[in-house]
Amino acid sequence: MEKLFIGGKWVASSSGKTFKSTNPATGETIDAFQAGNAKDVDAAVKAARAAYSKWRLVPAPERGGLLLEIARILRREKPRLARLVTDEMGKQLKEGLGDVQEAIDVFEYMAGEGRRFFGHTTPSELPNKFAMTVRTPVGVCGLITPWNFPIAIPAWKLAPALVAGNTVVLKPASDTPACATELVKILAEAGLPAGVVNLVTGSGEDVGVPMVKHPGIDCLSFTGSREKGEFITANAGLKKVGLELGGKNPIIVMDDADLDLAVEGIVWGAFGTTGQRCTAASRVIAHKAVEKALVEKLVKATKKLSVGYGVNHDVGPLVNKAALDKVKNYVALGKKEGKLVLGGKQLTGLFFEPTIFVNVKPSARIAQEEIFGPVLSIITVKSLAEAIEVANSTTYGLSSSIYTRDISAAFTAVRDLEAGLTYVNSSTIGAEVHLPFGGVKSTGHGREAGIEGINEFSETKTVYFDYSGKLQKAQKIG
């Protein structure tokens, strides 16, 4: 049985309750975990606050050195952690390895930011006066992470938060607490001082809500559903808040596209991780000149995917029964809103066939709402302008893609697509840790990774040195 990690110690929850994490492919229990509550959150925040006074004064390059040690241990443990990702979350083992590699990459990248942590200098408008900016930590950061990238996303938040000098209270998703617990064990092994990182497992209601409302948390970073993001916006008060709330990501396939390349990207984008990515390609917007040929190739390629345990199959299970029921409901709706050409059935347990609908209208619910499962809608258009209009017709704006050989069409799409990311001749997924990640509209606000990840977990302070020896008033005030 695993415990909470508060103030550098593994402790039981004050609730006296536990919950189990299970393998979605087999139903087997992975382990039992503490069902934390508001009292545990308060203890974690106090521990983080106590550690902050010293941690923020540790030189940023030294903090970066600890991140490098974390990356080293992650690399050593990569095979074991990847298998745990597959067992606890369900994605195929190759993706589990990628999940851990992403964590390694982001800790290595953010370690380097400890040697930079740049502000900027600028001339003053007055003589004998020096002006610059510096970056400062925010304070205690609450991190609430999802289950679909159970190692990578906590790492995306932890690495910049820590190198920037913040302390952390981490609440992982209740479907994947084992992955987060193993990650925190590695952070402790690397030598992080007690209280710098604290882990509280438990439900959103019992742990997440108290974190959102806690006055001792200065910064809150959340990845999850739009509905929960709206709750956070209404209840977090004046905390610095970053929200990544999903997507309804389009892949545009123009009449001059390399269809084989497009099909490869669509299959990976729509059915990789069983469609359980915020960047999943859930809409294909196909030019009418190639729609028929594209669908034929896409159906043929999708039929080759094997569904089963992620250790040796292409498409794993949905994460839990609620996710399965949601997919089933949308498929039933899709049969009324479009034409089913592949899949549409539940297999044994939490497994579901990769599913494709054609003849879908842009306004259909299956083309507007995030399904978070292996369901793809194909919409037909007559022009690039119409394709971009359809792509922008949802409330989300995370990732987008266009397949075309026309450089003008590519640059037009880059300019006009309402999304935080646009890929040209590639799928909607595959973020690199040295570039910013995030979206617009109902996808939320803020950016993770790259230099924007540092900005997300720090504040800008403007500094003036006046060495004139007299009071100088700006704006030419006498």
Amino acid at 257: A
Q: Is 219 a catalytic residue?
A: no
Distance from chain centroid for Cα 418? 19
CA distance 226 to 238: 19
CA distance 259 to 23: 37
Place of tokens 């390349």: 261
Give Cα separations from 284 to 266, 288, 376 (angstroms).
8, 12, 7
Confirm if 379 and 361 have CB atoms less than 8 A apart.
yes
Give bridge partners of residue 10 from the DSSP assignment.
5
Residue (of 380, 308, 376) closest to 342 by Cα position: 376
Residues with Cβ within 8 Å of residue 475, at least 6 apart in sequence:
none
DSSP letter string over 88-151? HH---HHHHHHHHHHHHHHHHHHHHHTTT----EEE-SSTTEEEEEEEEE-SEEEEE--SSSTT
Q: Which two tokens stand for residue 165?
A: 């000098």
CA distance 294 to 388: 19
Exposed (0-12), middle (13-18) or buried (19+): which is 322, by Cβ within 10 Å? exposed
φ, ψ of residue 331 in degrees (nearest 5): -65, -40
Confirm if 437 and 431 have CB atoms less than 8 A apart.
yes
Q: Which two tokens stand for residue 261?
A: 């390349």
Quote the crossing angle between the two packed helices 93-113 and 60-76, to the nearest 10°.
160
Neighbours of 385 (CB within 10 A): 11
φ, ψ of residue 369 in degrees (nearest 5): -105, 145
Give Cα separations from 94 to 312, 315, 377, 471 (angstroms).
9, 11, 26, 64
Q: In the chain, helix, strand, coil percent, each to 5?
A: 40, 20, 40
Element holding 326 (H helix, E strand): helix 321-337
Place of tokens 């820590």: 162
Could you give the residue numbers annotated as active site? 278
